[in-house]
Amino acid sequence: MEKNIKVIALGIIFSAIVFTSCNDISKTNTADNSKDNRITREEVINAQKTWGDAIVSIGEAYTNGGDYNFVAAKTVDKLYGYDEGTVLFTPTKASKKQFRLTEEEALSYFVKGTVAEDDGFALQPWGNVRFENAGMIINDDTAIAMGNYFFTDANTGEETKVEFTFGYFKDEDGNLRINVHHSSLPYNPG
């Protein structure tokens, strides 16, 4: 009988140890999963504003004789996910080299560079960029937004409407990065 009590006591102690260990593992997994990477609509809207402001800043640096190449490189590096993986970029005014799959090609589009057809889209300069979203699809740590964005010429005040689709993901630091950028001028039947 005494031997049975010892076996039962050891079984209870073993069960308590296993239960405690499982509880600790469960807490660890919960802590790891508690990092919320879900993207919100507000984050997408803020990312769009940041992108528009960056395009304006590149043009301002160019106009004021500043280091616009540095501003553009910092913009592409910070806002696009080239260092994280594949980025699918189809710029508005590109016909010969339509797809910019490298950071260097994206930079060329914004400020001239390695692609011969590039005039430096961000060097226009633009006085303002505003987004009008037709819709968004948000799926946890990825998002897609589609609509029109409007570029205001800093010299004339004229606005150019461009269609866009941007895809976003959230990086390790919780920042939205662009991994899909497609834009084009609206169809003109005339």
Q: What is the pLDDT of residues 5-16, one digit of tens each?
A: 444 443 443 343
Q: What is the pLDDT of residues 75-86, one digit of tens each?
A: 999 999 999 999
Which H, E and C letters describe 51-102, residue by residue?
Answer: HHHHHHHHHHHHHCCCCHHHHHHHHHHHHECCCCCCCEEECCCCCCCCCCCC
178 assigned to some structural domain: yes
- For position 126, what pLDDT does the model report? 98
Indicate if the pLDDT at residue 114 is higher than 80.
yes
Mean local confidence (pLDDT), 65-82: 98
Indicate if the pLDDT at residue 19 is higher than 50.
no
Q: Which residue range(s) make up the domain with 117?
A: 41-184
- For position 36, what pLDDT does the model report? 76
Mean local confidence (pLDDT), 120-147: 97
3 assigned to some structural domain: no
Under the banding of pLDDT at 50, 70 and 90, the label for residue 190 is confident
**In this structure, what token pair is assigned to residue 174?**
């919780």
Query: How far apart are alpha carbons 73 and 88 in whole angstroms?
Result: 18
Query: How far apart are alpha carbons 64 and 125 in whole angstroms?
Result: 11
The total number of structural domains in the chain stands at 1
6 assigned to some structural domain: no
**3 state SS of 164:** strand
Indicate if the pLDDT at residue 110 is higher than 80.
yes
CATH code for position 103: 3.10.450.50
Mean local confidence (pLDDT), 155-164: 97
- For position 17, what pLDDT does the model report? 36
Inter-CA distances, 92 with 97, 141, 164, Å? 11, 27, 9
109 assigned to some structural domain: yes
Amino acid at 146: M
Burial class (CB in 10 A: 0-12, 13-18, 19+), 97: middle
Under the banding of pLDDT at 50, 70 and 90, the label for residue 37 is confident
